[in-house]
Amino acid sequence: MRKTITALTLSSALIAAGAAQAQTPGQGNFHLSITDLFSEPLSSADPGAPGLNPPDSPTYNFGYFVSDDIMPYGSLIVSSGDDTNLLLRGGSRFYMIPGDTGNLRTFIDGELTYWSNGNDALGLGSHFGLEYFVSSNFSVSGRVGAEFVNPDEGDSSITIGSAGASANFYF
């Protein structure tokens, strides 16, 4: 019991210290993040066409805050092995509570995706997520949502429950 109380006290102190220092980025800040850092998405769309799978490399994302609550972004994945995969993604993240500058922020995002590895596909996605700001320049986030993929060959598919996690840097 004593260890539990000590652990809770120390955890609370660390969270309070982080809350006192962290400040969220806003208009004019740049965003750089790495998603699927361990070369394996938590979950991803399965386009359903032979030979068309989302690349299994980390995703590099770049964004710019046009206001305190809106951040358009672009993403790139390039991987090679038996086949060269390319993924380009463009979208926008909307922080759900305007003016919220707390350490934990909720967001929704929408995006358009293009896959290419010999069998091209277009996709649309929408996600809900949480982002925790450890400091004014670093946060971690996770998101879940749905994706629709329409490959050139094969059937279209809808994936509900797609998920991802990222480490985010702001400057």
Nearest CA to 53 among 62, 34, 40, 65? 40
Decide the pairing of beta strands 121-135 and 70-79.
Answer: unpaired
Provide the pLDDT for residue 78.
80
Q: Which CATH number characterizes residue 129's domain?
A: 2.40.160.20
Provide the pLDDT for residue 120.
86
Distance CA 64, CA 73 (A): 7
Distance CA 144, CA 162 (A): 5
Provide the pLDDT for residue 1.
57
The number of distinct structural domains making up the chain is 1
Cβ 171 vs Cβ 30: under 8 Å: yes
Distance CA 140, CA 124 (A): 24
Q: Which domain holds residue 136?
A: 2-170
Structure tokens at 9: 């006290």
Nearest CA to 95 among 56, 34, 59, 139? 139
Full-model pTM:
0.72
Residue 156 CB-density burial (10 A; 0-12 exposed, 13-18 middle, 19+ buried):
middle
Provide the pLDDT for residue 159.
85
Mind listing the pLDDT tens digit of every residue in the chain (171 residues)?
555 555 555 555 445 444 444 577 888 899 998 876 654 444 444 444 444 455 567 788 999 999 989 999 999 888 776 667 788 999 999 998 877 778 899 999 999 999 887 778 899 999 999 999 998 899 999 999 999 988 888 888 888 888 888 899 998
DSSP structure string for 131-155: EEEEETTEEEEEEEEEEEEEESSS-
Q: Could you tell me which residues come within 8 angstroms of residue 86 by beta carbon, excluding any fewer than 6 positions away?
A: 55, 77, 78, 115, 116, 117
Provide the pLDDT for residue 47.
44
